[in-house]
Amino acid sequence: MDKPTVFLLVGGAGSGRVERALRYAHQAAARDLLHRLLQTKLISRAVLATDDSTWAETLADLPVTVDLDPPRETFHFGQRLADLIERYGARRVLYSGGASAPLMDVSGWEYVLRRLAEEERLVITNNVHSCDWLGITPVDDAMPWIARAASDNALAWQLANQGGFPVEDLPVSAATRFDLDTPLDLLMVHRHPGIGPHLRVFLDGLGWQVPQLDLILAEMRREGGSLTVVGRVSSAAWMALERGTRCWVRVFAEERGMRASGRQSRGEVRSLLSDYIDLLGVQNFFEELASLTNGVFFDNRVLLAARGLWPSAVDRFNSDLCRWQDVQEPFLRQFTQAAAEAPVPILLGGHSVVAGGLMALLESVATGKVDH
């Protein structure tokens, strides 16, 4: 069997406290991911690309090749991955970010790696419209698209629609759709029994609190509760919420695939909800929303993109943690304060808050493991 080569790209973050915490969480999750991939015994080699030589030294006990990012070079995802593939002579490739699949177990990876080893031409991924990891064979045919890719997000879609690859999209679940993108993701996954031991230890010591999360969880467990999901909501997430709770659910779904399709980069994102906020004002909007529901999962990146805004990662992350005093961008600061002070709990975040993170919370509720 021609075993695939695994490439993990674990990059750095900014220097802020929240960004550093995300970086350390990614490193802990990457170590857990390496353990699981190695347990499959279905990979020919594991290569870890990182800019952190100090952390790389802590992986000396693992049979992993560390390839440090070239110093003083601007990082480009596609070029870096393409260089790695060429340097190590890989033909069948599994690429992942370190924090891309913290809930994927060994059996899940065994399936992916066997499919890659069996097929002559295939892309297999967690989500063709917005991938976090993907397997490719033969990788030579995919190199033009890989080398141009600014990020991994749209790569599977491009290989399917421009490269002519057959694509296998894994079934929707928390394991396949959840990654650690934002601070709120860390708090949501902490409640899940399926995270690896290194990530568990890190999160146990993190000490972050978002009271809205506990209130949302209480509403999810309540018979006849009322919940609302806003943003890039898929039908799968909506159905999972209705199956996994006894709540009435409202859905305001807009702009799925805005990144992978290029609409965001082209300035084409539109949001009816954003227009409604302009009519009411932020404070009145949340009062009106609170009259309809007892808890909200809010993917606010759609609103930002529709307004032509993309605040710094520090601002977005502080907003996710409801730390509105630390948000500098005026609209996001006002929006975050209004959400934090709303009459019902509002969970703010990126796509995960209405997708993988929501599914992870549902699985935690189902197992009863939602309290520390």
Place of tokens 């629609």: 161
Average pLDDT, whole number, for the chain? 93
Angle at 172 between CA 95 and CA 1, to 5 degrees: 40
Give 5-170's CATH code, choosing from 3.20.20.70, 3.40.50.2000, 1.10.357.10, 3.90.550.10: 3.90.550.10
Residues 182 and 77: their CA atoms lie apart, in Å, by: 19
Strands 133-137 and 93-97: antiparallel
Q: Can you give the length of the chain in residues?
A: 372
Q: Which residues contact 189 (CB under 8 A, 6 or more apart)?
A: 102, 103, 178, 180, 195, 199, 203, 357, 360
Which has the closest alpha carbon to 10: 45, 54, 43, 42? 54
Note the helical H segments in the chain: 17-40, 53-57, 77-87, 106-118, 143-148, 155-161, 174-177, 183-189, 197-204, 211-221, 235-244, 272-280, 282-290, 301-306, 313-320, 330-340, 356-367
CA 360 to chain CA mean position, Å: 12
Q: How far apart are CA 145 and CA 312, in angstroms?
A: 28
Amino acid 73: pLDDT = 83
Dist. CA 220–CA 55, nearest whole Å: 38
pLDDT of 153 reads: 86
Residue 218 contacts by C-beta under 8 Å, 6 or more apart in sequence? none
Dihedrals φ, ψ of 371, to 5°? -115, 150
Write phi, then psi, for 115 (nearest 5 degrees). Answer: -60, -40
Q: Give pLDDT < 50 ranges for the chain.
A: 372
Count of H-run helices and E-run strands, the chain? 17, 11
d(C-alpha 224, C-alpha 245), whole Å? 9
**pLDDT digits over 40-78, tens only?**
999 999 999 999 999 999 999 999 999 999 988 888 999
> What per-residue confidence (pLDDT) applies to 257?
84
Q: Check residue 259 and give its pLDDT.
A: 84
